[in-house]
Amino acid sequence: MANSSTRRVGADGFEALGDPTRRAIFEKLAASPSAVGELAQGLPVSRPAVSQHLRVLEEAGLVAKTAEGTRRIYRIDPRGIGAMRAWLDDHWRVAMTAFAAFAETEAEREDEEGL
């Protein structure tokens, strides 16, 4: 599952969060920056799998890592671009779909009224 998702992700943070494990990781990091081992402890997946998920989140601009001694600490990307872009992408899809539905309703109403 991780592999098929990875190919589809690209720069799209919304798709990156479509995977429940990645969402859980993202939410944990939103609560507090953590190393891979700490993340893996609270999740029903292996440490390599967590690393793989982190890589996808990183590529989507959602998380960033910093080195602290020998440990790599992951945190939500402070630039926020990935999350913001994903939010906007979702938002505009919902809004434009609502607009198209509204226009459809208006067109039907006009037909009925013989306008």
What are the residues binding other proteins (CB under 8 A)? 11, 14, 17-18, 23, 26-27, 30, 61, 76, 78-81, 83-104, 106-107
Contacts of 57 (CB under 8 A, 6+ apart): 16, 22, 25, 26, 63
Residues β-bridged to residue 63 = 76
Nearer to other proteins, 29 or 40 (CB): 29
Radius of gyration of the CA atoms of the chain, in A: 20
Nearer to other proteins, 2 or 11 (CB): 11
Nearer to other proteins, 48 or 97 (CB): 97
- 13 near 6, Cβ under 8 Å? no
Nearer to other proteins, 72 or 103 (CB): 103
Closest CA to 50 of 35, 61, 69: 35
* Smallest separation (angstroms) from other proteins to the CB of 70: 27
* Smallest separation (angstroms) from other proteins to the CB of 36: 21
| Residue 39 neighbours by CB distance under 10 Å | 20
* Smallest separation (angstroms) from other proteins to the CB of 42: 17
* Smallest separation (angstroms) from other proteins to the CB of 26: 8
